[in-house]
Every structure is written in structure tokens, then in C-alpha cells.
Amino acid sequence: MEIWINPACSKCRSAISLLDAEGAEYTVRRYLEDVPSEDEIREVLDRLGLEPWDITRTQEAAAKELGLKEWARDESSRGRWIAALAAHPKLIQRPIITAEDGSAVVGRTEDAVRDALARK
């Protein structure tokens, strides 16, 4: 299990606390420092079953500068979104937990973190 976090994020800290309380084994990835590649983002999206716009923080300054709210949300635009996430990792929703069964969840709630813990 791996968790992508921003240590300044309260949702990330809550997810880590719950993982620790449950005795989970996991690896922390500070994704703002260890920026995921476009291929890694594609893999996580596949594991999440989501599209890049589904995990984009559109209220961030970089999103506004790029005009992301105006970008098309279709298959032909997918690569553009993934490139933006790789170039501006702060835009990636957090925390993302990759579960042992090959899936992943966006762990913004206690239920989502527990869901990741339950996946074997």
C-alpha cells in the first residue's frame, strides 16, 4: 500500500493517523517532492477507475492560470490533463491510497481510507 500525500494537508494527516491506528503497512510518497510521471498518473487513474479531471483540484491557483475549468473533458483531452497534473502536482487530489488488490481510492474521508484497508 502506498499513500500519496502533502504533509500540509489535514485530510492526508487524518488518513495517515487512521492507517497507523489500524497498524497498516504502507509507504508514504510526498508527491510534491517525488512528482509522479505521466505514466504513473495514468496507472493510478486506471486503479482508481477515474479520469484525470476527476482528481484535479480546480480551485488551485495553477488550475485557474491554466484555465482548466474551460478544458474539454473527453478522451481526446485526457493526455493534456495528465500532462498538466505531472507538470503541476499540486493539482492532484489527495491523499491517494493504492490498495493491495491493485485498486486505489482517494482517501479524503475515513470511510474511503477504511475501504482501502479492507481491499486485499
Q: Assign 104 to helix, strand or coil.
A: strand
Cα gap 1→62, rounded to integer Å: 29
Q: Which residues pair with 29 in a beta bridge?
A: 4
The region, left, alpha or beta by phi > 0 then psi within -120 to 50, assigned to residue 78 is alpha
Q: Which of 1, 2, 9, 112 is catalytic?
A: 9
Beta strand pairing status for 104-106 and 2-5? Answer: unpaired
Known active-site residue 9: yes
Catalytic residues: 9
